[in-house]
Amino acid sequence: MLLPIFSSLVLLAPPAPKYPADAIAPALRENAHAVVRAYDKTVVVKSASQLVETVHRVVTVLDEAGSDDYGQLMVDYSSLRHISYMRGAVYDAQGQLLHQLRPAEIHDQGLGDAGGSFMRDLRMRYADLRQPTTPYTVEFDYEIVSENTLFYPDWRPQADENLAIEGATLQVTTPTALPLRFEEQHLPAGAASAPVATATQTTYRWQLPAAPAVEEEPLAPSLAEQQPDVHLAPATFEVQGHAGSLASWQSLGQWVYQLGQGRDALPPALTARMAQLLTTTPDPRERARKVYEFLQGSTRYISVQLGLGGWQTAPATSVATGGYGDCKALSNYTCALLKAAGLPAYVALVGAGAEHPDVRVNFPSSQFNHAILCLPLAAHGTVAADTVWLECTSQTEAFGYMGSFTGNRHALLLTPEGGRLVATPRYGAQANSQLRRTDLWLDASGGAKATVRTRRLGLAQDDYAQLLQEADPVAQKKYVGNHLRLGHFTITSLRLAAAPTSTLPGVVETMGLELASVGTVAGRRLLLTPNLLGRLGTLPAQVGPRLTPLALPTPGLYQDTVRLHVPTGFRVENLPLPTQLTTAYGVYSSACTTLPDGTLQYVRQLETRRPAGGAPLPAARYAEYQEFRRKVSHADNAQVVLVKTDA
């Protein structure tokens, strides 16, 4: 009996612990759900058409809130991106091995449904090493061989809030003939080493020291913009035999343009139909509108992205026969239609989405996820030159409107001469406006009936245009109801209708409401905040010093007019004092007056501003901005006091 125990003691002498949790410095535990113990990325460029990325990542999960994000690993792959291996191990708090990941425990899944794509070869493998007790440490190793050298890997070790790092490294080795391009962001001093060159290749190295966890603050730029990062890109690359250069925006644009070349032929009947517009509609702008209407009436968006198809457009003929395509295919098709109608246009690449950061203009690289169309119109007669931008994937978007999806940013025009970075339309406060008129009939118990007419223009109408086009009346009512910040209400009627101006799309919402407790009964008095629907909330109190810069929302113009019909048996005892604020962050005014017929009229207007355009402001400005918001909120909550007339 003794012998086996003895021998097992000898054989199973515990290996040296790896990454024990108590070795983590106390400063790194603060506010951290997890701590990156090591994050070492190695990129080896094998040739213009192949690179190998190796990652070694060790994370100690400190509490349950870090488990889902860091106790698992997901690696995506596709026909141009292969996973050579995935390995993993998990250690307990003392650093003793708990479990070694087995190949059978690695799951494989298609991602075709993610993001609404129809045909897509993107898949992922994932491994789950989450543990029932914290802390524990996971160690993952994986290697990816990529044949899509248009994209080089990114390196951002501290990608999330509540995540500390002990350190991280990045090493890139590339043949000297294929020089590396990189852009460093917020790197601490000494993070970069001098490149080491041999006869045939050059090695670059970066290293990050320990850094405590950060917490996101309200109205801050995204973490991606604030954290250390090294963006990598090739100088020259090759994808499935198509060689290109990223030396400039011009060369990137040229590569994409050439991929699409010769794919713009249309069926002759369609060409003829478009050419006919030249005679029926001589005005170029009106002709472009006709073409756009034709597009919107006869096509729809279906995403197809397989291999090179992620960058190369499908031929215009396939859209003509099937009536569908993805953003590239529909833009290319529309470009061909416009050309046939005598209107030369350009496809443009853009990073789309209201939250998508603008292009880093000094670092030509593939930063785009969408294609749109740009149509320059020459001056003719008394009409000045103009540029029309078209969103070709929407069947309902207004002609020439980009909105929050693709406006206010840069796009890469694809021209026969190559790429050119240009600005898409800008939408300022006037193009992001909401004008509302409310009639409120109050009763003696604090309830009310109201009619509300809201006209939204430009960016402010984007969500409502979608609601108008895509939702049925029941769903519209549900959405509007869920967004009303009122205690208890019943929407008695609701109607949405398009109401554009000559330059901007608009939506008018007309609504009937029955409200309870909008007025507060206080003995013989009835109190009411006339700013029923347009109150701007305050900001959360600042706890400790503000650390991150201040990123203000897009400027907008918000106007509310409320006609308050006083219930019989009441008279006005007190009206809110007029307020006027003029600051760098916005201009505010509110006033309440009695109209000749006894009705009260409350008028409130806020135009928000961004002192430095879109650029973030220093953290120190937060207090000042908070004070502005506090004053606005105070004025927004001012009350009317009505008192019972002594009958």
Partner 1 sequence: MVWINRRLAWLAGSWLCLGLGTGPLVAGAQTAAPKQAPPLPLRFGQPDPADLEAQGFVADSGAVAVVLYDVGQSRFASAAGHMAIVTERITRIKILKKAGYGYATVEVPLYHQGESSEKLSNLRGFTYVRGGDGQVTKTKLDASGEFEEKRTDKLKVHKFTLPNVQEGAVIEYAYTVTSTFFSNFQSWTFQSEIPVRWSEYRTSIPQVYHYKALYQGYLPFAVNELGVGSVNMVLENTSGSGMTATSQSQSLSMSTEQHRWVIRNAPAFREEPYLTTANDYLARITFELAGVQMPNEQYRDLTDSWTKKNKTLLSDEFFGQALGHAGFLADAVRPLVAQYPDPAARAAAVRELVLKSVKYDGTNRYHATGPLKKAYELHRGTAADVNLLLIAALRQAELPAQPVILSTRAHGRVSQDYPLLEQFNYVVALLETPGQPDLLLDATEPLLPAGVLPRRCLSRIGHTVVEGGEGRWVSLTPTRRYTHLQNIHLTLHAPGNLTGEVQEEYGGYAAQEAREQVQQLGEKKYVTQLAAVHSGWEVPAYTFSGLATVDQPLALRYELQQPAAAANNPQELYLKLLEPFGERRNPFRHAQRSYPVDIGLAQQEIIMLTLTLPPGYVADLPKAANLLLPEQGGRYLYQASAPTPTTVQLTSRLTLDKPVYSADEYHTLRELYRQLLAKQAEALVVRKTQ
- In the region spanning residues 437 to 476, those forming contacts with partner 1, defined by CB under 8 A, are 446, 469-475
Measured from the CB atom, the residue of 233 and 468 that comes closer to partner 1 is 468
Angle between helices 462-470 and 473-482 in degrees, nearest 10: 150
In eight-state DSSP terms, residue 62 is -
Inter-CA distances, 398 with 114, 395, 405, Å:
27, 9, 13
Count of CB atoms situated within 10 Å of the CB of 511: 22
Residue 300 Cβ vs partner 1, minimum distance, rounded to whole Å: 5
- In the region spanning residues 152 to 191, those forming contacts with partner 1, defined by CB under 8 A, are 162
Measured CA to CA, the distance from residue 609 to residue 550 in angstroms comes to: 13
Site string for partner 1, 382-421 (x = CB under 8 A): -------------xx-------------------------
Q: Which of 300, 380, 426, 571 binds partner 1 (CB under 8 A)?
A: 300
- In the region spanning residues 535 to 594, those forming contacts with partner 1, defined by CB under 8 A, are 537-541, 543
Best CA proximity match to 497, nearest among 531, 456, 460:
456
Q: Which of 262, 523, 545, 613 binds partner 1 (CB under 8 A)?
A: 523
Best CA proximity match to 432, nearest among 451, 398, 413, 460:
460
Asked whether position 267 contacts partner 1 by CB under 8 A, the answer is no
Measured from the CB atom, the residue of 134 and 366 that comes closer to partner 1 is 134
Measured from the CB atom, the residue of 192 and 539 that comes closer to partner 1 is 539
Residue 555 Cβ vs partner 1, minimum distance, rounded to whole Å: 24
Measured from the CB atom, the residue of 222 and 520 that comes closer to partner 1 is 520
Interface with partner 1 by CB under 8 A: which range of 50-58, 108-116, 357-365, 613-621?
108-116
The number of helices, as runs of H, and strands, as runs of E, in the chain is 13, 38
Asked whether position 293 contacts partner 1 by CB under 8 A, the answer is no
Measured CA to CA, the distance from residue 86 to residue 422 in angstroms comes to: 42
Measured from the CB atom, the residue of 56 and 99 that comes closer to partner 1 is 99
- In the region spanning residues 4 to 33, those forming contacts with partner 1, defined by CB under 8 A, are 31
SS3 256: helix
Measured CA to CA, the distance from residue 349 to residue 584 in angstroms comes to: 34
Measured from the CB atom, the residue of 192 and 498 that comes closer to partner 1 is 498
Q: Which of 69, 76, 215, 358 binds partner 1 (CB under 8 A)?
A: 215
- In the region spanning residues 627 to 646, those forming contacts with partner 1, defined by CB under 8 A, are 633, 637
Asked whether 316 and 332 are in contact (CB, 8 A), the reply is: yes
Q: Which two tokens stand for residue 638?
A: 């001012």
Site string for partner 1, 327-366 (x = CB under 8 A): ----------------------------------------
Q: Which of 8, 520, 580, 645 binds partner 1 (CB under 8 A)?
A: 520
Measured CA to CA, the distance from residue 258 to residue 601 in angstroms comes to: 62
- Cross-strand partners of 559: 435, 605
Q: Is 458 left (phi over 0), alpha (psi -120 to 50) or beta?
A: left
Interface with partner 1 by CB under 8 A: which range of 52-60, 128-136, 164-172, 585-593?
128-136
Residue 587 Cβ vs partner 1, minimum distance, rounded to whole Å: 21
Asked whether position 501 contacts partner 1 by CB under 8 A, the answer is no
Residue 308 Cβ vs partner 1, minimum distance, rounded to whole Å: 16
Asked whether position 491 contacts partner 1 by CB under 8 A, the answer is yes
Question: Could you tell me how many residues of this chain bind partner 1 (CB under 8 A)?
Answer: 73
Q: Which of 499, 516, 572, 587 binds partner 1 (CB under 8 A)?
A: 516
- In the region spanning residues 54 to 73, those forming contacts with partner 1, defined by CB under 8 A, are 63-65, 67
Measured from the CB atom, the residue of 128 and 607 that comes closer to partner 1 is 128
Asked whether position 494 contacts partner 1 by CB under 8 A, the answer is no
Inter-CA distances, 179 with 156, 172, 249, 418, Å:
21, 11, 17, 22
Element (H, E) at 452: strand 448-458
Q: Which residues contact 332 (CB under 8 A, 6 or more apart)?
A: 260, 263, 264, 313, 314, 316, 319, 347, 371
Please calculate the CA angle 209-213-216 and round it to the nearest 5 degrees. 130
Please calculate the CA angle 505-508-510 and round it to the nearest 5 degrees. 170
Residue 387 Cβ vs partner 1, minimum distance, rounded to whole Å: 27
Phi, psi for 393 (deg, rounded to 5): -95, -5
Q: Which residues contact 394 (CB under 8 A, 6 or more apart)?
A: 296, 301
Asked whether position 91 contacts partner 1 by CB under 8 A, the answer is no
Q: Which of 113, 355, 597, 646 binds partner 1 (CB under 8 A)?
A: 113
Residue 372 Cβ vs partner 1, minimum distance, rounded to whole Å: 19
Asked whether position 502 contacts partner 1 by CB under 8 A, the answer is no
Q: Which of 321, 493, 580, 645 binds partner 1 (CB under 8 A)?
A: 321
